[in-house]
A and B are shown apart, each in its own frame.
Chain A
Amino acid sequence: MKRSWNPRTWLGFVLCLAALVSYPTFFARYPITRDFPWATLLLMALALYLVASGALRAFRRPDAYRGKIFGSILGVLSVAIVGLFLFGIFHLTRMLPASHGAPQVGQLAPDFTLPDSQGENVTLSNLLQSPFPTDGAAGAASGKTAAVVLIFYRGYW
């Protein structure tokens, strides 16, 4: 009897790759799938199941299914991909400085002056004391600035 093609291992491996790639390109865009990557982990669990069951099928019934060698290779690669993802998620992205010297709640925020994207100097204390800019389109009422949210970010390069 002709041994049948064993698509499960391949499907699982492709799904594993897709899960890895879709995290930075898609799921990381939304906090609900980024902060804890449950969607990616579910996809990877399904991928590992497919690869493992396909490879096991090839070993248990080598007369019926092909893919002992490829199943093993793809299995190792899939485990490596999942391991890489877990290492990145639970270790690499947490290597941040403690920043114990950052301004604490209740403290005065150190004043500063920095250029904006037009090259105009902007001073924090001036922002806090100047009237809130009126936006014609939004129709926001003018008045004192109530607060400033500062978002420090890593930048794009």
Chain B
Amino acid sequence: MRSFQERLPDFNARKIRVIAISVDTPQESQHLRQSAGYTFPILSDSQDNVIGRWDLVHAHGRQDGADISRPAEFLIDSAGIVRWANLTEDLRVRARPEQVLHAFDTATISNR
């Protein structure tokens, strides 16, 4: 997410909102935002509601055995349609902001 923070001006210029989601509580997310300097919102899905509906649950993925979200990135246009998605097969390999910006720039998403 650090790389997305660094490229935030490029997302702002295209009027793309960057939103992160995890099972952390709002307090934990706020702590992360402050310590890491993230200025984009982080949403808290501590009950796995959205992660479950989106089929992104990594069962017992946390070291303490709790269910967490697998890493995944989605680009959603203003009509709510998924225009690009990345479901990594290796949790070390995440989407880079350039990939999302490229997908946006080539998908001719309405920017009016």
Contact with A along B14-55 (1 / 0, CB 8 A): 111111111110111110110000000111110001110111
| Interface hits, B27-85 → A, CB 8 Å | 27-30, 32-33, 41-45, 49-51, 53-59, 61-64, 68-85
The reply to whether A154 and B45 form a contact with Cβ atoms under 8 Å apart is: no
Interface residues of chain A, those whose CB is within 8 Å of chain B, are 28-29, 31, 34-35, 89, 93-94, 96-97, 99-112, 114-119, 122, 124-125, 127-129, 132-133, 135, 138, 140, 143-157
The reply to whether B70 and A155 form a contact with Cβ atoms under 8 Å apart is: no
Closest 10 CB pairs of A and B: A101-B55, A155-B22, A117-B30, A117-B29, A114-B43, A146-B15, A132-B15, A155-B24, A152-B72, A112-B50
- A140-B13, A155-B24 as given contacts; A109 in contact with B76, CB under 8 Å: yes
Interface residues of chain B, those whose CB is within 8 Å of chain A, are 1-4, 9, 11-24, 26-30, 32-33, 41-45, 49-51, 53-59, 61-64, 68-85, 87-96, 100, 104, 109-112
Q: List 14 A-B contacts (CB under 8 A).
A: A103-B74, A106-B81, A108-B81, A118-B26, A124-B80, A128-B78, A132-B17, A147-B75, A147-B109, A152-B51, A152-B74, A154-B68, A154-B91, A155-B68
The reply to whether B82 and A107 form a contact with Cβ atoms under 8 Å apart is: yes
Count of inter-chain pairs, beta carbons less than 8 A: 224
The reply to whether B77 and A146 form a contact with Cβ atoms under 8 Å apart is: yes
CA distance A104 to B105 in the complex (A): 19
Q: Shortest distance in angstroms between A23's beta carbon and chain B's nearest beta carbon?
A: 10
The reply to whether B80 and A151 form a contact with Cβ atoms under 8 Å apart is: no
- A99-B70, A124-B76 as given contacts; A153 in contact with B92, CB under 8 Å: no
CA distance A66 to B77 in the complex (A): 68
Q: Which interface residue of A89, A99, A118 has the most chain B CB atoms within 10 A?
A: A99
CA distance A132 to B19 in the complex (A): 13
Q: Shortest distance in angstroms between A32's beta carbon and chain B's nearest beta carbon?
A: 10
Q: Shortest distance in angstroms between A139's beta carbon and chain B's nearest beta carbon?
A: 9
The reply to whether B70 and A156 form a contact with Cβ atoms under 8 Å apart is: no
CA distance A119 to B26 in the complex (A): 6
The reply to whether B41 and A150 form a contact with Cβ atoms under 8 Å apart is: no
